[in-house]
Structures are given as C-alpha cells and as structure tokens.
Amino acid sequence: DAKTTQPTSMDCAEGRAANLPCNHSTISGNEYVYWYRQIHSQGPQYIIHGLKNNETNEMASLIITEDRKSSTLILPHATLRDTAVYYCIVIHAGGTSYGKLTFGQGTILTVHP
Amino acid sequence: DAGITQSPRHKVTETGTPVTLRCHQTENHRYMYWYRQDPGHGLRLIHYSYGVKDTDKGEVSDGYSVSRSKTEDFLLTLESATSSQTSVYFCAIRPGQGEETQYFGPGTRLLVL
C-alpha cells in the first residue's frame, strides 16, 4: 500500500471549514484513499473514502486531485467535537482477506472556540 | 455505530495470569480484527479472522491467541499476561466482498502489573 504524508498538526476556528491535506504520491490506480479519525480514548472512526472522484457524505467531503497524488478532507463547519487525530490511509481496492490498515502518525486537528 | 462491543472495557491484571478479551458484532460481517495501540506505534494488527474458525496472525501476534467459534464473536487471549501487553486493544469488523471499510469498537484498556 502507498505511503501517505500528513501535517503533524493543524488549527481551525469553530464554525469554519477545516481542510486537511494528505500526500500519497505513490498511489496506484486501484488504491482507495480512506480517512479515519480518532477522538481521544475512543476507537478510530471511519469518515469517508474515494477512488478517483470527489466524495461527500454527512460528515465530510473528500477532494482527490486529478493525478490522485494528493487529497484533502474537508469538514465544512468544524465544531469543538471535531478535535481529533485524522488519518489518511491508502488501501488496495478489492484487497486480500488480510485487509490490514496501516495508520501513520496522522494530523492532530484542534478546533478553537 | 457499527454494532461492535468489546468487553471488558477496562481490566487490571497481574503478570502471568491469563486474560481473554471479547469482541461482539451484530452486523454478521465476515472479517474481524484485533489491533493494539501504544504511544509511538499507532495501531498494530495482532490477529484477524476471515470466517468462523478461520484466523491468521498479524504483525505482533507473539503472546496472543484468538478464537472464532461464531460469526459474531472474536476472542483474544493473552495466555500469560506480561507488562509489555499493557495497551489499548481495538476490535474491528469488515464486510468483505470488495468492501474495505473497517469499523472499530470502543476499545479495551488493559493494565498488566
């Protein structure tokens, strides 16, 4: 699976959009981009994933560049409860039964009042 | 939430004693995983299961065994607990059939004295 690079930390004001970047320059054509987050002391929470097209759900939007070498997770109206560590992960589509997720260091997002 | 519970949520035990952690799902998903999370190491896969009675080792399986006698339950056993197994343990489930998304339980905090 491709390696990802994320900033160590980011800040955001409550109510504003939080844009979290991820670099995955070695991604291959059949690898998905997944985003998870982990709020302190809780289990990782699935947010969104995509292959080529931009995606949106009730939690967030995922923008993937045309060359697929980077992506941005957008939380449109950040709240204090969005303070968490955000992980960008690349996974082989239709992968083996192994299905192991490799969590890097992630981005610590702090939402300020 | 993805219908995953873990028990116990917290446990303190002594070195050398056996410990069993339980993961229970109500989703009838095929794949189940046990991870441990430690500072500086992120999440590391211990064991996984791809069906009833079908299990395999992950990257940090030494000192751990697992069993899956029913689709809904995946047990992690520390045969003889050591202080190095003090950690937070997370269970995850995945539907399979090309669906790569894993959903995590709330975690079990284990302290081995």
Each residue of B51-96: pLDDT tens digit?
999 999 998 999 999 999 999 999 999 999 999 999 999 999 998 7
Q: pLDDT tens per residue, chain A (113 residues)?
A: 668 999 999 999 999 999 999 999 999 888 899 999 999 889 999 999 999 999 999 999 999 999 999 999 999 999 999 999 999 998 876 555 466 777 888 999 999 99
What's the half-sphere exposure (Cβ side, CA atoms, 13 Å) at B62?
Answer: 2
Tell me, yes or no, if A44 comes closer than 8 A to chain B by beta carbon.
yes
Which pLDDT value is given to residue A101?
Answer: 78
Which residue in A98, A107, A108 has the most chain B C-beta atoms within 10 A of its own C-beta, making it the best mutation to test that interface? A98
Is the distance from CB of A21 to CB of A35 less than 8 angstroms? no
Average pLDDT, chain A: 91
Closest-CA distance of chain A to residue B90, Å: 7
Tell me, yes or no, if A51 comes closer than 8 A to chain B by beta carbon.
no
Q: How far apart are CA B70 and CA B49, in angstroms?
A: 11
Q: How far apart are CA A87 and CA A76, in angstroms?
A: 17
**Interface contact flag, A49 B90, Cβ < 8 Å:** no
**Interface contact flag, B105 A94, Cβ < 8 Å:** no
Residue type, B27: E
